[in-house]
Amino acid sequence: MAKRIVVAIDGPAGAGKSTIAQRLAARLGFTYIDTGAMYRAVALWAMRAGIEFTEMHRLEQLAAAAQISFRPGGGGVLLNGEDITEVIRDPRMSEAASKVSTVPGVRRELVEKQRAMASATSVVMEGRDIGTVVFPNADVKVFLDADSKIRAERRICDLKLRGGSVDAATVAREIEDRDQRDRGRSTAPLMQAPDAVYIDTSGLTLEQVEEEILKVVRQRISNGKEPHTLE
């Protein structure tokens, strides 16, 4: 059987993970998995069901029951058959997902689903704990970071593109709060794996970041060849 490859991309909000991970997956012919969307999906379901963030057991049950799937080629995310791609991008959902993600039982259930998704195919998986917890033996680990001002600017651009009304100071504060929560939680906090390659994307173009990571991919898994030629 062909070797399955895991490319793990972690980092804080606004570091460029989603865009880069999608491009890489397309380039390599791997499946793209956005684990943040999975926490957002559970948060959405909890909000609709009127479950409080303090009801840890009920949240864990939701995470276990949630059927989450991704359309191929970064084409969106489904929760129990419903397309929730757009609705989970609301800034309120970012905060809700960050809160839900502090619940250990929710993490346990979603990590299990993430591992199952990578059991049949090579993946580029992005999140906060992919290289540390979900796949500590990932073939390639990258930690993407950027200056907090730049991360806030990117998020503001994103929100404007989606047509939302944007208050720059509020967005910057929300990003900071979320980072603190994601880094400070006791279960699987956001941190760089010791063997991850650190890339500061602040002054780099998308193409430069992509090339940088492809270089690492080539070094680690394919002796210089394009990885999908191995499969």
The 3-state DSSP class for residue 127 equals: strand
187 or 222: CB nearest ligand DC: 187
From residue 53 to residue 82, the character string flagging contacts with ligand DC as x (rule: CB under 6 A) and all else as - is: ------------------------------
User: What tokens does 119 get?
Assistant: 């059991």
Residue of 178, 196, 213, 221 interacting with ligand DC (CB under 6 A): 178
What are the CA-CA distances from residue 94 to residues 26, 44, 47, 56, 98 (Å)?
A: 26, 10, 12, 18, 6
At 3, which amino acid appears? K
83 phi and psi angles, rounded to 5 deg: -75, 115
For residues 107, 112, 116, 118, the Cα torsion angle rounded to the nearest 10 degrees is: 50
Number of residues engaging ligand DC in binding (CB under 6 A): 15
> Does 175 sit near ligand DC (CB under 6 A)?
no
CB 126 within 8 A of CB 34: yes
Within 10 angstroms of residue 115's Cβ, the number of other Cβ atoms is 13
> Does 94 sit near ligand DC (CB under 6 A)?
yes
The 3-state DSSP class for residue 165 equals: coil
In the block, residue with structure tokens 């009304």: 165
**Backbone dihedral region for residue 50 (phi beyond 0: left; psi -120 to 50: alpha; all else: beta):** left
Residue of 13, 144, 152, 197 interacting with ligand DC (CB under 6 A): 13
Residue of 16, 74, 127, 227 interacting with ligand DC (CB under 6 A): 127
> Does 35 sit near ligand DC (CB under 6 A)?
yes
Residue of 21, 24, 36, 77 interacting with ligand DC (CB under 6 A): 36
> Does 101 sit near ligand DC (CB under 6 A)?
yes
Q: How far is the CB of 182 from ligand DC (least distance, A)?
A: 5
Residue of 109, 139, 145, 182 interacting with ligand DC (CB under 6 A): 182
> Does 99 sit near ligand DC (CB under 6 A)?
no
Which chain residues interact with ligand DC by CB under 6 A? 13, 35-37, 39-40, 94, 97-98, 101, 127-129, 178, 182
